[in-house]
Structure 1
Amino acid sequence: MRAKGLSEKCSWALLVLGLISTCVDGQADPVKVTVFVETLCPDSMAFVSKQLGPTWESLREIMVVDFNAYGFVEETPVGEGYDFSCQHGAEECQGNMVVECARRYIDNSDTFVDFSVCLMSSSFPPGEGENCAATVGAAWSPIDACANSVEGQQLLHDSGVRQNSLDPVPDYIPWIIINDVFTQEHLDEAQTDLTGLVCRTYEGTPPPVCQL
């Protein structure tokens, strides 16, 4: 009886060790993809619709996306808020505020990315907020109120602070960073094969889509 009990304990220990080994060998930290866009920038729209969206759809289990909207903006403090001049006009400023307000009011980070991808994959992102909120199951009213208020201006300003604190400071949009380290090679590859870049960067066992 004692020998049998010892055998059972050894078997259980080996099982636990095997499970731990599987977890260690098979999983790793997700690949972080940080993105700064302008909502009416053709290059930003193409990147999100052709690269980020499909990659997020197939590899969300091994990646996280830090999605930001700002770009090349001139801003002037006005009272408690700001007056913005965006590269592609006032409608772009509005679209950028929609993104930043969605960041604030969509609690689930994956849902926020889904919303942003939906928005930027449309033909006119600044006008698709309500439709995209409905598509991802998010409440549109607080986002809309925010984007049309001083709060939205403050949030867009904060996004500019984040962008301008990067090293190097972006001189191109979309600006794409992998695992918090910018390289020109990553920026170039992300715009042509983001799926391959994420698959290659992930340090765990890659999902089947990476084998295709």
Structure 2
Amino acid sequence: MFFSPVSSSSPVELTLASKIAAVLVASILLHGFLFHGSAWKSRFYQVPGSNLLAVKVKILTEALCIDCKQFVNGQLSEVYNALGPSVMDLQIVPFGNAKFVHVDGAERGDKPVLQCQHGVAECDGNIYEQCVVMQLYPYAQRYLPFLRCLYDELPMGHSDQLLDRDAIANCSTASDVEWVDIAACHDDEKQVALLQKRAKSQTPSYHKGVPWVEVNGRHVEITDDGASLLRAVCRAFISNGGTHPSCSSSLVV
């Protein structure tokens, strides 16, 4: 004898089925919110296989620094492409030589103003980079293409004019990051204040110039031979017990 699924289900079974359906719907909605949500909600991308032996690499940069451009688009990108996130736990802090100062004539108690080495334009660029690097896309394999594009598109050097938003938007499209979210983060004063405070706290006061490189907490002097970063990271990785084809024996001598 065949029974209809509806007529054969008890009230308890229907209630259980309804609860399961509700949970599934809620999960789908939550997934959509996390991955396609509004501005400044950090993206939860799958991180490549984590490695406890990975070397912590911190790079201090600023948006309109020609030396930073040459390093990030040159040596850093080459080394990261060769070693990847399983070897390099990379952190870029876009703050550089900026500092908070009290403007002449400001009344006592007024909040200090942020001054950047290369003017208003650099502060503006740093904000865009902080939104991407520190908030929206906090993984190097996601934000490095965006930073490389910005260094190629933006005019290096001092300027007190705000940056061309079209250039930022074009780089976001080219590097597959969401311009709408980046712009919303950049335009939110409270969010910007928090990011600037955080970037300052991650920029050690003892640093001298940018780019400033630290490997496992120790400063690394960048040399003209183009191998100083690779050498430092490989030595640290091997000392941690790791091995990698790009870390030849000649690098650790």
Q: TM-score, normalised by structure 2?
A: 0.61
In the alignment, the residues of structure 1 paired with residue 231 and residue 210 of structure 2 have an alpha-carbon distance, to the nearest angstrom, of 21
Deviates more, 1:150-159 or 1:69-78: 69-78
In the alignment, the residues of structure 2 paired with residue 177 and residue 49 of structure 1 have an alpha-carbon distance, to the nearest angstrom, of 18
Higher RCO (CA < 8 A, seq sep 6+): 1
Matched-pair identity in %: 25
Aligned to 1:9: none
Residues 1:201 and 1:137: Cα distance change in structure 2 (over 3 Å) = same
Matches within 5 A, 1:39-78: 39-60=63-84, 61-75=86-100
In the alignment, the residues of structure 1 paired with residue 69 and residue 140 of structure 2 have an alpha-carbon distance, to the nearest angstrom, of 20
Aligned to 1:106: 137
Shift of 1:49: 1.3
In the alignment, the residues of structure 1 paired with residue 172 and residue 98 of structure 2 have an alpha-carbon distance, to the nearest angstrom, of 26
1:34 and 2:74 matched: no
Residues 1:63 and 1:108: Cα distance change in structure 2 (over 3 Å) = closer
Work out which of the residue numbers 115, 125, 129 in structure 2 matches 1:95: 125
Over residues 19-63 of structure 1, what are the superposed CA-to-partner deviations in whole Å (9 max), with x where a residue is unaligned?
xxxxxxxx7611111011111111111111111111111111311
Pairs aligned (count): 180
Aligned to 1:162: 202
Aligned to 1:182: 218
Higher helix content, 1 or 2? 1
Contact kept in structure 2, 1:101 and 1:146, CA below 8 Å = yes
SS of the residue aligned with 1:46?
A: helix
Aligned to 2:21: none
Deviates more, 1:60-69 or 1:114-123: 114-123
In the alignment, the residues of structure 2 paired with residue 207 and residue 64 of structure 1 have an alpha-carbon distance, to the nearest angstrom, of 15
Matches within 5 A, 1:129-208: 129-150=168-189, 151-163=191-203, 166=204, 169-179=206-216, 181-183=217-219, 186-189=220-223, 192-193=226-227, 194-203=229-238, 204-208=241-245
Moved over 4 A (4+): 76-79, 125-128
